[in-house]
Amino acid sequence: MNKQTVRDIELKGKRVLVRVDFNVPLDPQTKAISDDSRIRAALPTIKYLLDKKSKVILCSHLGRPNGKVIEDMRLAPVAKRLSELLKRPVPCTRDCIGPEVEEAVSKMKKGDILMLENLRFHAEEEKNDPAFARALAKLADVYVNDAFGTAHRAHASTEGVTKYLPAVAGFLMEKEIDYLGKALAGAAHPFAAIIGGAKVSDKMALLDNILGKVDYLLIGGGMCCTFLKSQNYGVGKSQVEEDKLSVARDLMGKAAKTGVELVLPEDVVVADKFATGAQYKTAPINSIPSDWYVMDIGPRTVKNFSDRLRKCQTAFWNGTMGVFEYKEFRAGTEGIAKQLASLKATTITGGGSTAEAVMELGLEKKMSHVSTGGGAALEFLEGKTLPGVAALLDKKT
């Protein structure tokens, strides 16, 4: 990564504003944190700053309060969980800017930590309002962005604040950029990309950008139906993006011309409805019932994909292979996850539903990297510039 990190800047005794991504899922009934992986992912940076005797001021958003104070979206439960992980108190302010916050920061001693209230209680955060960014910057001497999951947004706390403070990356940001960068340049070959998800349109830029970099392109998920239809297979009542059929055919043509093996499913799991308890069965792709839905890749396809993956030195995975939220239709995703976990290779999973599936299966520690950023990972792999990364200081030559 060509950006400066916390290693490159003087930190002792400094007030350090750290943008973290603590937008964690909360149980709808108890409001307890149901997955603390994003909090854990930020611990290396937080501990490093505390060890350097910095005054650590954390800021994050939680949910979508749309510029209003929503009691259920306060960050106190997150501060409580962080205090348990750090084994020390983490006080939380009732706002993220203003005189009371400034007073709390002024009382901090070297090695202290403080969490600011939900940034998105202020509409100015998402508008990247300069006055709001200045108010945040007023709290600190240095800015650290460790929130890769929000790096694709030019918000006050990700881009605006960098105009007023020296800005560097945290360890999680560095790790994300380094690992995802391997999927775009310098990957060891053979290299496979497994791409799933619901729609081809959601992944077209990714597919186009990664096509010339891989040896195998394995297509699953609901989007495989558009590819299958483009090859004149019937896909029952499954969603097909009719306006993307020619795009799918063109992509397959490009793959053939560049020597990339693009692999579609040979069999799929089909069901009579989207529901737990639905009738379902495995069908070859030339025998999909006209009134059923494609819900997952089939066992023969899992084997075909796995045969390619076993040859690889690098594998990147984005998008589940089926409707993973229903237990009947998770075998494809589980099969691919277990195969990746068994490889002696660099294995990178790209955010969102893919990361959730890997964690639910308890396989995250067997992957080289599980991205914490869904949209950010996708945009990075599409070759787009992420505002929250671009705004950081470049490494000194």
**Please, are residues 332 and 302 in contact by the beta-carbon 8 Å criterion?**
yes
Catalytic site residue from 352, 373, 374, 388: 352
- In the annotation, is 38 catalytic? yes
Q: CB neighbours of 242 closer than 8 A, spacing ≥ 6?
A: none
- In the annotation, is 396 catalytic? no
Helix (H) or strand (E) holding 249: helix 245-258
Token digits for 238?
């499954």
Best CA proximity match to 390, nearest among 134, 126, 38, 153: 153
Best CA proximity match to 5, nearest among 18, 14, 15: 18
Token digits for 384?
């787009």
- Phi, psi for 323 (deg, rounded to 5): -80, 80
Count of positions (residues) in the chain = 397
Catalytic site residue from 15, 19, 38, 153: 38
At how many degrees (to 10) do helices 374-381 and 352-360 cross?
120
Catalytic site residue from 13, 63, 111, 375: 375
Catalytic site residue from 80, 138, 199, 366: 199
d(CA 169, CA 133): 18
Q: CB neighbours of 390 closer than 8 A, spacing ≥ 6?
A: none
- In the annotation, is 335 catalytic? no
- In the annotation, is 107 catalytic? no
- As annotated, the active-site residues are 38, 199, 352, 375
